[in-house]
Structure 1
């Protein structure tokens, strides 16, 4: 695939349709940090686990907040993005009304009081990381398409395959046909 953009904090990385790395097959990754001199950190937006938030926080009374696998690094750590930056102290803006992290206890309180809904927040175990120069090399090898201007609602689509397809389609007609490639071309 052809990249015309440079990655930055708030960019999406869309994996090419036949990526062989099972950690990132048909992945959509939101870059949370990108420093050419320090490396890159992102969250896989479309790898939903079978767990819900209440599985790791028994005090959470609702089980409609799924957990996602944010990547293969530090899978014991919890990260989250949300749309309510003004309600969660310590969060910082990523892109167009979407915030990263903040006070987790405050977020859990908002959930238990029904002041925060699943379409406003997404939780992740682990993250995806790249050492200095590693992501640039993968981009040069056409493993990723960079998407810098996307509707932020994409990030909160729950179905993984739909998220990847909608993200590709939102890049325009040049990429829309790729969204319909079969997972296994020999079955076509």
Structure 2
């Protein structure tokens, strides 16, 4: 396993990736080992809100993201508040995965946990053992370290372009590639 594909990084879809599930996607990688990999697409917002998938009332319309094409009937979350959410797993510096969901709902309704401190996902992106490494060798993904502030503060619509621009150099140019170069 390469150092660049460890957990806690952003996987940025190369500009001409033809898989519609991952076109212009940025995935936050939560697990990566020889047994497989798991992450969440952080920049594909759905038309659903948290209140649409829960029976309980949540005080605010918190958007749901499409975490990936696997098990779209599951709900996951990333956050930056381990002080409020017990049982969280720190994946990268200041970025936590999961935790006690009952506490999350209570904290949201008590206005202690702010919507900009948490992202919810339906489904996830998954790879079997060796599959992500093969995709990396095929240059399907560009890898960069994940950043907590960038993850939670960047608007999903701009995320793919902004993360590339932030990387600078040749990646700044890639950020401006059209989706279909034939239309240029």
Give me the TM-score of the superposition, normalised by structure 2: 0.94
Measure how far apart 1:11 and its partner are: 1.0
Residue 151 of structure 1 corresponds to: 147
Match of 1:127 in 2: 124
RMSD: 1.5
**Conserved 8 A contact 2:40-2:125:** yes
State the match for 1:33 in structure 2: 31
Alpha-carbon distance in structure 1 between the residues aligned to 2:60 and 2:52? 8
Task: Structure 1 unaligned segments of length 5 or more: list them.
Answer: none
- Number of corresponding residues: 183
Query: How far did 1:154 drift?
Result: 2.1
Q: State which of 20, 27, 50 in structure 2 corresponds to 1:22.
A: 20
Aligned to 2:86: 89
Q: Secondary structure at the match of 1:170?
A: helix
Residue 69 (1) aligns with residue 66 (2) = yes
Deviations 1:53-98 (A, max 9, x none): 0111242333431000101111111100001011111101111211
Post-superposition CA distance 1:10-49 (Å, at most 9, x none): 011000011100000000001110012x100010001100
Corresponding position of 2:162: 166
Tell me, yes or no, if the aligned pair for 1:82 and 1:98 is still in contact at 8 Å: yes
Q: Out of 119, 123, 137, which is 1:140 matched to?
A: 137
Tell me the CA shift for residue 173 of structure 1: 1.8
Q: Distance in 2 between matches of 1:9 and 1:120?
A: 20
Q: TM-score, normalised by structure 1?
A: 0.92
Q: 1:5 to 1:18 in 2, by over 3 A?
A: farther
Unaligned runs of 5+ in 2: none
